[in-house]
Amino acid sequence: MSSPDPSSANAARAALVEALIRTGDADRDAFRTVYQLTSAKLFGICLRICEDRQGAEDVLHDVYLTIWHRAATYRPERASPIAWLATIARNRSIDWRRRQTRARAAPVEAADALADPARAQDETLIADELHGRLHGCLEAIEPRQRSAIRSAFFGGLTYAELALAQAVPLGTMKSWVRRGLLALRGCLDAAA
């Protein structure tokens, strides 16, 4: 993985933090800046989890209204701005999807393709060494376990949904994921 230029990454993040804080003061220009800097990332999240373009657009709309109203509660010392925004998008998308009753088609493979770490990454907004560390540790665990963990994160799937998608018994899926998470924890603790 190529390492981003830390100064430009820090500048991009600082610009987003500032725009988010000003949005909390009801600054409409700052809100537009937040939208420009983040809408592609957040739409990617909504689209992936909702698996429905219209649904993803509605959720994204709702996400930015939430951001507008909630920006004053953002605490830069607690969370990176993109993680804060992305968490809202992921949560709202999962809410939306769980309200839909339709079955999901082949989500695991799709999530896997999306989560390929060799793909271009948004290194200007998240430039943590943590990101590199997490990838190193994910790479170190067994592929089947890694794949299930990625699907859970990127698809917003529960154990039951993962098992259904992979057509394996629930106990088997739990065992894969738990072993993967234990290995991940061991690796992340050792690397800290």
Q: Residues 74 to 113: which contact other proteins by CB under 8 A?
A: 75, 78-80, 82-84, 86-88, 90-91, 94-96, 98-99
User: Which residue is associated with the tokens 């859970």?
Assistant: 152
d(Cα 106, Cα 87) in Å, to the nearest integer?
24
CA distances from residue 103 to 85, 161, 189 in whole angstroms, order as listed: 27, 10, 38
Binders of other proteins in range 120-179 (CB under 8 A): 120-123, 125-126, 128, 130-131, 133-134, 149-150, 152-154, 156-160, 162, 177-178
From the centroid of its chain, how far is CA 104?
19
Total interface residues for other proteins by CB under 8 A: 78
Give the shortest CB-149-to-other proteins separation in angstroms: 7
Binding positions for other proteins, 15-54, rule CB under 8 A = 25-28, 32, 35, 39-45, 47-48
Distance CA 174, CA 154 (A): 17
Q: Which spans in 25-128 are helix H?
A: 28-50, 53-70, 81-99, 107-114
Q: Nearest distance from residue 98's CB to other proteins, in Å?
A: 5
CB of 23 to other proteins, least distance (A): 10
Contacting other proteins (CB under 8 A), which of 15, 21, 66, 112?
Answer: 66
Residue 62 is a binding residue for other proteins (CB under 8 A):
yes
